[in-house]
Structure 1
Amino acid sequence: MSEQILCHACQAFLDGAREAANFDGSPPYKHHSSADSLKSALTLGCAICTSLFGAYATLGSTSWARDKPIEQPVVESWVFEFHIDCDDYFPNQILVLEDAAAKSGPCGKPIRGNSGGEDALAFFASQYDVCRTTHTTCPRWAPSSHFFPSRVIDVGCRGDAEVCLRVANTIDAPQPYLTLSHCWGQSQPFTLTNKTVAQLERGIPVVSLPQTFHDAILVTRRLNFRYLWIDSLCIFQDNLDDWHTEAGQMSDIYGNATCCIAATSAKDCNTGLFIDREPHALEPIKIKITESRSLSSTHLPPPGLYWASFRWTNYNAIDHAPLNQRAWVAQERYLSSRVMHFSREVLFWECFERFANEASSNGIPYKGGFHQFLPSISSLKTHVFGMVMGLSPARQAPNAEQVTPALLTPTCQFDYDRWKSFLGVYTQYLMTKEADCLVALSGIAQNIEMVTNDRFVAGLWRGNLLEDLCWQAEKYEIDRDRSSRPTTWRAPSWSWASLNIPLSTNYHWAYVSDTDKAEILDCLVDAEPSGQIKSASITLRCRLIPVAVRIETNEGFDRAFAHIGLRSRSSIEVEIDDWSTAASRTAGTNIWLLVLRDIFLSGDGGLLEGLVIVLSTNRPPSFERIGMFSHVAYPDSKSEVQDHPKLRAYEELLEKYKETEEKVVELV
């Protein structure tokens, strides 16, 4: 392979210009300072910029955000990270340089042609074969080896013109099947209804189905499977009872599937799985570095020939793809033991023991920023699976492949903070139907319930309920002029699911100990089999502190403060859930602080947190949450401990709590 043309910006950087431009300083080193500069590099045919532009498919100013040396088993490599400097968000791209003198070619295999070609699909076939025959942990994720969906699509054999709907009782014994995870998009795909069921059971031409369904059928056949589960074709879309029943079985449907086909890059069901790729644009290129202005630099490679390639990380190619912006897909990916990701440029395989793509079929290296961080869904899944692997049945029956729920005895505690991090991301996902907010989580909830013996109550966990009640909405996502509530009631006021805005994940504090200031007496939830809530309430023994709430506007930003008449004349800032009704809900005197937790922080600090509640407008004398408070008393220095105003207010608030009569209240 001949050496490639590089533009002045790329060559200058690699020859040490970045080192001379204060590598550790801020702002980051500018690679191209304007779109015109990047255009000129593309016109010149700069190999690096052409690859970078192909990865972004957009113009903008680029910066070198970070670079660092890494170590590989065979050859030393350098990793550089690009990002677009503009108002819109674009995921970073990673450039890897490998010493060409150490080997004849770069790490990884070449990527060829269409992503639906024989070579591409052979990658998935080989990955599945390795997983099935050598992986010992992957089979243990499935809830039950005897489960089979109520209905599946019988794809027949390769070359068949039609497929048909089959009911479970017409199939001999549970058979292996695949699932499809996809975006419906704006267009309504052909669906299972009372009018179409007879047609589907007789058989329907493959060519009449949306392209994504057509391609998924092709993949199922090529991998020698016969049955495929597709939500819109296997759940009656005009029968609400059937929908609730089937939606409540997502944990079993995806958890017991042999593999999940993920239409990762498809924005709708008509896009399809397969994409024509330009092999040359995906190949590593050979570049020459002539000199380094700082020979002692460890941040830049020494002069010589290098293989340069943009590696595709799961964070870029999968987590920011169209499919993974949908709320429903979170549980589809979580529940599946194996996933075949059809991303825009490269195919990815994901199971518990391997994350690989076509270029790195033995697994993508974890060093050097390839995995910038585990996405919250993968982090949660890995944590729960670690608990599954530590369950007592594995010791009682070493050869058993499945876990019996009745025998579950976790050997480690469930990490509720990991769940909160996941919710912070989940609540940003897109959802076509507001009512699906908790339904789209029911499969994950069932899985965690099975492992932990905890109980999922309207989006919170019974074993961590006092802390979970203190959730906080992301204040910068709140539109002060528009309601934060869904159009139709879907959750009690004390649940984060009662809002349509993301949750904040920036309110966690490292604490030494905590004391409960309220007691949960009862928690009642009436829900559909799907997980959709019909009614819910919590009964607590607690103390209510009456307050007056004042709303202040500072530089166009509203803030709310609760005044209790403290001797220090301090006020407690509160976070309002729905600012569109803040003025009416906080008017008058019927407002209370419900203190839930007293937390002792390191460094002589303290924190009181709880809810801001009012009498329910629909169910008096019950109460509703309208916000939360988290009063932190953390002095700036040791010398200020005794005189710190927030610490004095914290102590006086505790005194007020002790003076208040204990009572039993119901939250709805």
Structure 2
Amino acid sequence: ERIATLPFLSELSSAASNACPFCHRLNVIFYNSYREKTWWQNSDLHLCFRIRYIWRGYRRSRQGEPTYSLECLDTIVRHPGCAKDTVDVFKFTIGAWPGRCRDWLNIRRYPLDTTGVVSERNITLMNKWIDDCAANHDRCKTRDRRSTVLPTRLLDIDTGTDVNHLRLVDNTEALSRNMLGGKLKYATLSYCWGSSVSLKTTSASLATHKERISVHAMPNVFQDAMFVVRKLGIRYLWIDALCIVQDNPADWEQESTKMSDIFYNSFITACAAASTGSDESFLQRPTKPSFTVPFRSILKPDISGEYSIFLDPRPIMRIEADLDFRSSRWNSRAWVWQEQTMATRSLIFGKYMVQMRCQACIQTEDGDHLWPEENLDSDLLDNQHWNYAVWDYSARDITFASDKLRAIAGVARFISKAKENAGRNTEYLAGIWLNDSFFDELCWAIEKPKASYKEMMAGFVDENNYCAPSWSWASRRDAVSKIAPSGYRKEVRLVCYRLSPAVSDPMVAVKPGSSITLRGKLKP
């Protein structure tokens, strides 16, 4: 156990001045973490900390035998503000390049490539993930075989020697150029628009965009996506702002309705998780500080090498891939939820690293191999899965309240088809399934209300902002939770219901006046 005296941590400062990068980093971390605390300036006090290596068991496959890997370096801190028997923990990930040291210590993570997100190594790695998935993952191969729907328009990014231009093409032209036959392979882009998108296809620009689009006129996220997709050897790319005529309501209605199919049928979806808007590149990331530790085995002195300790600590029990996914602005958007759910394969470009998520597994740039928590294809008929989806989706931000049902309609349609194929055809009433859990699904509550009662009631009479009837969770712009009691007898029955579609598909939008009539007992 080591001690560092407040407030200057002289013991660490002295070691840092003697060229110890880890001590220097600890000094910075402790200062940034605790300098605002009331006890920090008391020179009679000190921090106590100890450092230990952590070995962790993991499985190479779901059914595989567990093995142990050198995972990280823990720094356990006890400071004057700690309650009894509590400590703070900072975790520093360990990685190593292939070699005898990595094999001997069973280090499963790699250092991140400092030459860039789309380095030759990373492009090779992404192609390996994709090829392995397409060849060996049964769930993903099944999706590939099912695909039939194509976007009306695609971006042709292979314009020969002219790398500075691309153009918009109709799917019929793309199909005619598909010399190998079979399914047309295209990529999609999932991203945050931000406050605006600087380049869109409109009625006025449609003809021009079919002739050519300058790469330099595109926002950074679009340029990055095109660069990545070209590197992966895919000719066609779908970006909503360019492939949907933005000022044509009929075109937008048609294309947005099949957007879930567009992502489902896409060969790969590039996800700009590191960007908060279309003008922010997702291929730029800060270099992650690290230092190299030489190693020679005491048991077998002929085994030597080195490993890296990354000096950017992560929260306890969290991995960088999860932080990339969960904490990004991109992950907070409602439309993105449907894109994430429907995409067969997603290449996620995060603040920390690149990862690929498919229906079978999650693979990361630093060598981790994980399994998804849920899977749409396998959980389609599970009511609990829908409840979880509603909880996740309802907490996300949506620009227009009237899109609340629209942005989840593709997933609902997919589930409805699966229920029908299973002989369990079920009506969908503005976000709630008319099945044996119907009354439970009516028991929802707002977690943290964002609107006043007056604002809420105004939304039910304003046709421009109306989304759903008051009994549906989709009527609110807030996160909802289910509060259905368990172990109770349901003394209520559905008398009738009436949905007034606002468009041809009632799953997409309904009008004011949609209602359900229940009969049951009321508590005095």
The interval holding the TM-score normalised by the smaller chain is 0.7 to 0.9
Identify the residue that residue 166 of structure 1 maps to in structure 2: 169
Question: In the TM superposition, what are the counterparts of 1:124-143 in structure 2 within 5 Å?
Answer: 124-142=126-144
Conservation of the 8 A alpha-carbon contact between 2:186 and 2:268 = yes
Conservation of the 8 A alpha-carbon contact between 1:93 and 1:316 = no
Identify the residue that residue 636 of structure 1 maps to in structure 2: none
Identify the residue that residue 325 of structure 2 maps to in structure 1: 318
> Secondary structure in 2 aligned to 1:103?
helix
1:350 deviates by 1.0
Question: In the TM superposition, what are the counterparts of 1:176-215 in structure 2 within 5 Å?
Answer: 176-215=185-224
| 1:259-302 per-position Cα deviation (integer Å, ceiling 9, x unaligned) | 100011111111122114426x25675799xxxxxxxxxxxxxx
Identify the residue that residue 465 of structure 1 maps to in structure 2: 438
Conservation of the 8 A alpha-carbon contact between 1:185 and 1:269 = yes
- Letter of the aligned partner of 2:56 in structure 1? I
Change (3 A) 1:230 1:101: closer
Change (3 A) 1:142 1:330: farther
- Letter of the aligned partner of 1:490 in structure 2? C
Change (3 A) 1:147 1:37: farther
- Letter of the aligned partner of 1:342 in structure 2? F
Q: Which deviates the most, 426-435 or 529-538? A: 529-538
> Secondary structure in 1 aligned to 2:499?
strand
2:369 to 361, 364, 371: 364
Cα separation, 2, equivalents of 1:142 and 1:481: 47
Instruction: Select the structure of larger CA radius of gyration.
Output: 1
| 1:115-146 per-position Cα deviation (integer Å, ceiling 9, x unaligned) | 12222222211111111222222122358333
Conservation of the 8 A alpha-carbon contact between 1:143 and 1:255 = no
Conservation of the 8 A alpha-carbon contact between 2:467 and 2:510 = yes
2:496 to 521, 536, 541: 521
Identify the residue that residue 433 of structure 1 maps to in structure 2: 400
| 1:285-333 per-position Cα deviation (integer Å, ceiling 9, x unaligned) | 5799xxxxxxxxxxxxxxxx99645674432111211211111111101
Identify the residue that residue 471 of structure 2 maps to in structure 1: 494
Change (3 A) 1:343 1:415: same
Conservation of the 8 A alpha-carbon contact between 2:192 and 2:330 = yes
Structure 1 residue 386 corresponds to structure 2 residue 378: yes
> Secondary structure in 2 aligned to 1:225?
coil
Identify the residue that residue 242 of structure 1 maps to in structure 2: 251
Change (3 A) 1:307 1:274: closer
Change (3 A) 1:222 1:75: closer
Conservation of the 8 A alpha-carbon contact between 2:321 and 2:352 = no
Count of aligned residue pairs for this structure pair:
450
Identify the residue that residue 70 of structure 1 maps to in structure 2: 56
TM-score normalised according to structure 1 size = 0.59
Change (3 A) 1:236 1:53: farther
1:226 deviates by 0.8
Identify the residue that residue 446 of structure 1 maps to in structure 2: 413
Cα separation, 2, equivalents of 1:38 and 1:318: 38
Cα separation, 2, equivalents of 1:514 and 1:51: 60
Cα separation, 2, equivalents of 1:345 and 1:246: 33
Conservation of the 8 A alpha-carbon contact between 2:272 and 2:349 = yes
| 1:501-556 per-position Cα deviation (integer Å, ceiling 9, x unaligned) | 22135x355x34643412242342414248122345234341464xxxxxxxxxxx
Question: In the TM superposition, what are the counterparts of 1:348-427 in structure 2 within 5 Å?
Answer: 348-360=355-367, 363-364=368-369, 379=374, 382=375, 384-387=376-379, 414-427=381-394
2:231 to 201, 222, 234: 222
1:153 deviates by 0.6
Identify the residue that residue 155 of structure 1 maps to in structure 2: 157
Conservation of the 8 A alpha-carbon contact between 1:151 and 1:168 = yes
Cα separation, 1, equivalents of 2:218 and 2:499: 44
Cα separation, 2, equivalents of 1:168 and 1:468: 40
Structure 1 residue 116 corresponds to structure 2 residue 123: no
Cα separation, 2, equivalents of 1:444 and 1:60: 43
Cα separation, 1, equivalents of 2:468 and 2:322: 32
Cα separation, 2, equivalents of 1:32 and 1:422: 49
- Letter of the aligned partner of 1:385 in structure 2? D
Percent identity of equivalent pairs: 22
Cα separation, 2, equivalents of 1:148 and 1:50: 55
Change (3 A) 1:483 1:387: closer
Cα separation, 2, equivalents of 1:455 and 1:47: 62
> Secondary structure in 2 aligned to 1:108?
coil
Conservation of the 8 A alpha-carbon contact between 1:330 and 1:426 = yes
Change (3 A) 1:124 1:455: farther
Change (3 A) 1:338 1:117: same
Cα separation, 2, equivalents of 1:306 and 1:115: 21
- Letter of the aligned partner of 2:232 in structure 1? L
2:279 to 266, 270, 273: 270
- Letter of the aligned partner of 2:408 in structure 1? L
Cα separation, 1, equivalents of 2:14 and 2:222: 40
- Letter of the aligned partner of 1:460 in structure 2? I
Q: CA RMSD in A?
A: 4.1
1:351 deviates by 1.1
- Letter of the aligned partner of 2:414 in structure 1? N
- Letter of the aligned partner of 2:430 in structure 1? A
Identify the residue that residue 301 of structure 2 maps to in structure 1: none
Change (3 A) 1:490 1:512: closer
* Runs of 4+ off more than 6 Å: 31-43, 49-54, 97-102
> Secondary structure in 1 aligned to 2:511?
strand
Conservation of the 8 A alpha-carbon contact between 2:68 and 2:106 = no
Cα separation, 2, equivalents of 1:465 and 1:41: 66
Cα separation, 2, equivalents of 1:270 and 1:133: 35
Cα separation, 2, equivalents of 1:77 and 1:324: 27
Cα separation, 2, equivalents of 1:449 and 1:37: 65
1:249 deviates by 0.3
